[in-house]
Amino acid sequence: MNSERGFSLIEVLVALFVLSIVSAAGTTVILRSVSSKEAMDVAIGEASQFTAAHSRMRDDFAQWVPREAESRPGLDPQSSFVGGGVGDSTLLFSFVRDGWTNPGLKDKRSGLIAVRYIYDGGAIIRQVQTRADPAYNQEPIEQIIFSDVVEAYAEFSQDEQWVPQWRAVEGDRAGAPVAVRLTFELQSGERFVWMFLTPAGAML
């Protein structure tokens, strides 16, 4: 008598049912892992963007120099620091800073550059003039710091309070505010308040 026999139909169906449950669970775990990795990559990318933007602004403020210049050549008065929409509703702040390298001394210029931050068209934009006193028709180099911005404004520290505008006049001992506060909100609903110090505090 032959003792060998195959699986019954019920055994096969039970095995397939168990296998389908295990496969579904494994697929769910894999999909969640992929989604988590994508979410982590997005979060890391956003964090890197914020870190780079904050570092850029911090370095600009840290290298401010008490040097009068025109925020917009031929349009604005001479000032060592201007901000908060003075003369231009899009203006956040503008000033001259030091520290621009000149490899090989190829250009006949100093290390001073003019930086200007504006909020225009839903974006925070950094504009750079490669000279403190650029020519009237010289176009600035632009870098979009943040896009998808629904609100942005700057405030300036003055006598233990925050004021919405700043313009350093001739003979101003400090020239720049001791601190600048930038508030902005993204379309995602995220709201940020960044504070920066300037070297003006050491001059008081």
CATH classification of the domain holding 122 = 3.10.610.10
Is residue 64 in some structural domain?
Answer: yes
Q: Tell me if 162 sits within 8 A of 181, measured CB to CB.
A: yes
Q: Which residue has the higher pLDDT, 14 or 191?
A: 191
State yes or no: pLDDT of 44 exceeds 80.
no
Other residues' Cβ atoms within 10 Å of the Cβ of residue 149? 20
Paired with 145 in beta bridges are: none
Tell me the pLDDT band of 68, cut-offs 50, 70 and 90: confident
Which of the two residues, 40 and 178, has the higher pLDDT score?
178
What one-character DSSP code corresponds to residue 27? H
Would you state the pLDDT for residue 132?
A: 83
In the predicted structure, residue 73 carries a pLDDT above the cut 90: no
Q: Which domain holds residue 142?
A: 59-203
| Nearest of 172, 193, 195, 173 to residue 184 by alpha carbon | 193
Tell me if 25 is assigned to some domain. Answer: no
Rounded Cα–Cα distance for residues 70 and 77 (Å): 6
- Residue type, position 67, single letter: R
Residue 75: the pLDDT is: 78
Whether the pLDDT of residue 126 is over 60: the answer is: yes
What is the tally of structural domains in the chain? 1
Q: Is residue 36, in this structure, part of any structural domain at all?
A: no
Q: Is 9 among the domain residues?
A: no
Helix and strand totals (H; E) in the chain:
1, 12
- Per the domain annotation, does 34 fall within a domain? no
Q: Which is higher by pLDDT, 145 or 3?
A: 145
Residue 174 has pLDDT above 70, yes or no: no
| Residue 197 in domain | yes
Q: What is the pLDDT of residue 62?
A: 94
Q: What is the pLDDT of residue 33?
A: 67
Answer with the residue of higher pLDDT: 192 or 85: 192
CA distances from 27 to 16, 21, 41, 117 (A): 16, 10, 21, 49
- Residue 21 within a domain: no
Instruction: Give just the sign of the alpha carbon dihedral 168, 66, 94, 159.
Output: negative
Is 41 domain-assigned?
no
